[in-house]
Chains A and B, each alone.
Chain A
Amino acid sequence: MTDKQRDVLLSIQDLHVWFELRRFGFGHAGYVKAVDGVTFDLHFGETIAIVGESGCGKTSLMRTILGLNKPTKGKVVFEDLDVGALRGEALRQYRAKIGYVQQDPFGALAPFMNVQQILEEPLRINGVKDAQERERRVRKVMEEVKLTPVDDFLHKYPHMLSGGQQQRVVIARAIILEPQLVVADEPVSMLDASVRVEILKLLRGLQEKYHMAVIYITHDLSTVRYFSERVFVMYAGNVVEKAPVNSIVHNPKHPYTAALMDATSDPDANNALTFRELPPGEPPSLVNPPPGCRFHPRCPKRIENLCEVEEPYDLPADDHLVACWLYK
């Protein structure tokens, strides 16, 4: 694989992110094991998609990469920095190295600041003292995200912009410090269909132009193939399948991935004629996940006396890595 020849930008090593539950504010009542043993490498300029349902731990993983959560166990290594060990000023500087595109563009913009103020904030905070320099960079980045003519948008407040324009401001803010890594958390799920593609293409174009690495977090498999090179599927705090995008779409290996694919609709009138085959039940609690494979209670291909006993590890299957005993 050519990926291996590239340098590693971000390395996640056996990452666990647990949140302590307290009883009446004092007593220990267990842990929410939001991320429970995730390992992967991200190379310079690479795009990956992390796919999973709500509560699968993808948000906690993302926040840990951004330096907003502390790892409970394991490491996040960015270039040469051990992110978990950073404190104070060093942590603040680290956070500024990663661009962050959020889900809800309106909520992500301070309602009392105009576009210029919003975009200048990262520059101010990270030591660009010259006002003219700041304005020059704000204008440049607005051109990049096609908020043009720039003068029309510079002094607008977020509520005066459409959802798509708001998301462009969020993207502009994420790339204004020229980061090597951008984390995009469901960047289009709140937008209309016609705008979604536009924003995804914009992000893709910027990624290629500046050779940024992008982690695209989504629950929507249908957008993944237009955006990323590799797909990681998360279920109940674990990554259950890692695969190149073209391969996973046509040939999902993990039963959960296959279930997700089956549940995703394409617009087709025949959909209405049949019922969809779906795994029964709901994702498990992250406080007390089932032993062995976490998907086994819902899995149609469960192997008795194995899946509910031993936790599967990454097993190779074609060019996929699948945490499933079927591929032993």
Chain B
Amino acid sequence: MSSFKRNLQEILKYPSAIAGSLIILALVIVAGIVITTIPYSEAIRLWRGGEDVWYANPQYAPPAWINYFRSEKLPVSFALDSFESDGEQVVTTFEDVDGTTSRTNITYTFDFQADVVPQEISLYFDATYESKQPFASILWVTPDGREIRIGDFGVDKQRTYRLSQDEKLKRRLGGVPPMDGLFADPNSESGKPLKGTYQLLIESVAFEPGSTLHAEFVFFGQVYGLAGTDHQRRDLTLPLLYGVPIALAFGLLAALGTSIMTMIIAAIGAWYGGWVDELIQRITEVNLVLPFLSILIMVGTFYSRSIWTILGVTVLLSIFTGGIKGFRAIFLQVKESAYIEAARAYGSSDTRVIFKYLIPRMIPLLIPGLVSSVPAFVFLEASLAILGLGDPVLPTWGKIINDAQTNAALYKGLYYWVLEPAVLLMITGLGFAMLGFALDRIFNPRLRGI
């Protein structure tokens, strides 16, 4: 394939082609990793999971890295588990008192350097016992050594204790919301929280042999992770990452399907001529005046919003468009080539002429068009999702924007929620567009030398 090599060498002469290829390559690698590490069923389970899966995340939290751009630092979310005693952040001690009674002491230590109090702190207990509940008392130690008793209670088999919803604690803190009270700096006028190392101590007593207590400490900060979270506490990295393979698959399949079908149908029409050609031309003209998006919206509303249905309808509606006229015009020229006449003279059948002689001639023109049309389809899928017609099960970029929109993200100032998927959409579009333009220069002889 020396011509392939030649084309490749020529591609490398265009910086935009290199940049575009790198972007696409990066996207493909990400898509590959995502697909292999998060299986499809797992992704869907996580995406539809809701509170059970995502209880440990804050709601509406921007990504953690926005702190780099803020003077007032926001607390980062984290969780500490009593099973994972490491002697530093979590210290869990177990002491058997007399064979029946036992003590479990858990100390969570964390450094707090933010300028804003967290959304919430919760403790998720689960205990094992026959009839007598273990009893826990919880103590809060501030960096300046003050000790605040938070509460004492028997622990059910499953219990969630949310500090900020404890009315008794609120009263004990003098009527201020518990988060403000617990992090308050007694010497500060500004009401800024006190920075330093905080500790939360759980001292529990179990009254049965074999009875245990496990507690997870979850600190719901104001920011979370790489991408932030949405209204359902879902980590946005999941749909952002999973959106890559879906967007690529949809865009490439739609572009490939459309281009190839268009080309084959145009070739058939141009080769046979007569009523076949007439029919294809008339279908195209009718299809050109049909409102494309409206039909898709109707299909999405009344029939199915499955991405495969939408893909199929998109391809079907995109086949009979201007492209078919353009291809046909060129095929009509190629059809008259001497080499096609020669092929017929040595006995080629019609199908062979179409697929072996007409279509390969068109491939150089097809490739740039195909690459350039990918972004349009990626955006189309996103647009449909934004309009609420996206596939209901799949985590996609469009879905994120759709969620953001219904939750008034921009109104609430949660820009990250819209910007993250939008930036990815733009990068994808840019990558394919840059490569497409360069390929057009290389393959389209009319643009050569410009």
Residues of A within 8 A of B (CB): 66-68, 92-93, 95-96, 98, 100, 102-104, 107-112, 121-122, 125-126, 155, 157, 170, 173, 177
Cα separation A96 to B347 with both chains bound (whole Å): 5
Max chain A C-beta neighbours (<10 A), residue from B345, B360, B361:
B345
Residue of B nearest to A176 (CB): B346
Would B338 and A102 count as touching, CB distance under 8 A? yes
Cα separation A122 to B343 with both chains bound (whole Å): 8
Cα separation A126 to B344 with both chains bound (whole Å): 12
Q: Residues of B contacting A104 with CB < 8 Å?
A: 338
Cα separation A45 to B257 with both chains bound (whole Å): 52
| CB contact between A173 and one of B346, B348, B357 (< 8 Å): that residue | B346
Q: Residues of A contacting B339 with CB < 8 Å?
A: 107-111
Would B3 and A112 count as touching, CB distance under 8 A? yes
Would A100 and B346 count as touching, CB distance under 8 A? yes
Residues of B within 8 A of A (CB): 2-3, 337-339, 341-349, 352, 356-357, 360-361, 363
Would B346 and A108 count as touching, CB distance under 8 A? no
Top 3 closest pairs, chain A to chain B, by CB:
A96-B347, A107-B338, A100-B345
19 contacts between A and B (CB under 8 A): A68-B341, A68-B344, A95-B345, A95-B346, A96-B346, A96-B347, A100-B342, A102-B341, A107-B337, A107-B338, A108-B338, A110-B343, A110-B357, A110-B360, A110-B361, A111-B339, A112-B3, A122-B347, A125-B348
Cα separation A92 to B352 with both chains bound (whole Å): 12
User: B355 to chain A: closest CB distance in Å?
Assistant: 13
| CB contact between B346 and one of A121, A155, A157 (< 8 Å): that residue | A121
Q: Residues of A contacting B352 with CB < 8 Å?
A: 125
Q: Residues of A contacting B345 with CB < 8 Å?
A: 66-68, 95, 98, 100
Would A155 and B2 count as touching, CB distance under 8 A? yes
Cα separation A226 to B382 with both chains bound (whole Å): 72
Q: Residues of A contacting B346 with CB < 8 Å?
A: 95-96, 100, 121-122, 125-126, 173, 177
Cα separation A93 to B344 with both chains bound (whole Å): 10
Q: Residues of B contacting A108 with CB < 8 Å?
A: 338-339, 341-342
Q: Residues of A contacting B338 with CB < 8 Å?
A: 102-104, 107-108
User: A218 to chain B: closest CB distance in Å?
Assistant: 17
Cα separation A107 to B333 with both chains bound (whole Å): 12
Q: Residues of A contacting B349 with CB < 8 Å?
A: 92, 125
Would A95 and B347 count as touching, CB distance under 8 A? yes
Q: Residues of B contacting A96 with CB < 8 Å?
A: 346-347
Q: Residues of A contacting B347 with CB < 8 Å?
A: 92-93, 95-96, 122, 125-126
Q: Residues of A contacting B342 with CB < 8 Å?
A: 100, 102, 108, 170, 173
Cα separation A100 to B346 with both chains bound (whole Å): 8
User: B351 to chain A: closest CB distance in Å?
Assistant: 11
User: A62 to chain B: closest CB distance in Å?
Assistant: 10
Residue of A nearest to B339 (CB): A110
Residue of B nearest to A183 (CB): B345
Cα separation A275 to B338 with both chains bound (whole Å): 38
Cα separation A13 to B442 with both chains bound (whole Å): 53
Cα separation A105 to B3 with both chains bound (whole Å): 20
User: B297 to chain A: closest CB distance in Å?
Assistant: 39
Q: Residues of B contacting A173 with CB < 8 Å?
A: 342, 346
Would A112 and B361 count as touching, CB distance under 8 A? yes
Would A121 and B344 count as touching, CB distance under 8 A? no
Cα separation A121 to B345 with both chains bound (whole Å): 12
Cα separation A177 to B342 with both chains bound (whole Å): 13
Cα separation A96 to B342 with both chains bound (whole Å): 10
Max chain B C-beta neighbours (<10 A), residue from A92, A110, A155, A170:
A110
Q: Residues of B contacting A98 with CB < 8 Å?
A: 345
User: A116 to chain B: closest CB distance in Å?
Assistant: 13
Cα separation A110 to B362 with both chains bound (whole Å): 12
Q: Residues of B contacting A102 with CB < 8 Å?
A: 338, 341-342
User: B246 to chain A: closest CB distance in Å?
Assistant: 35
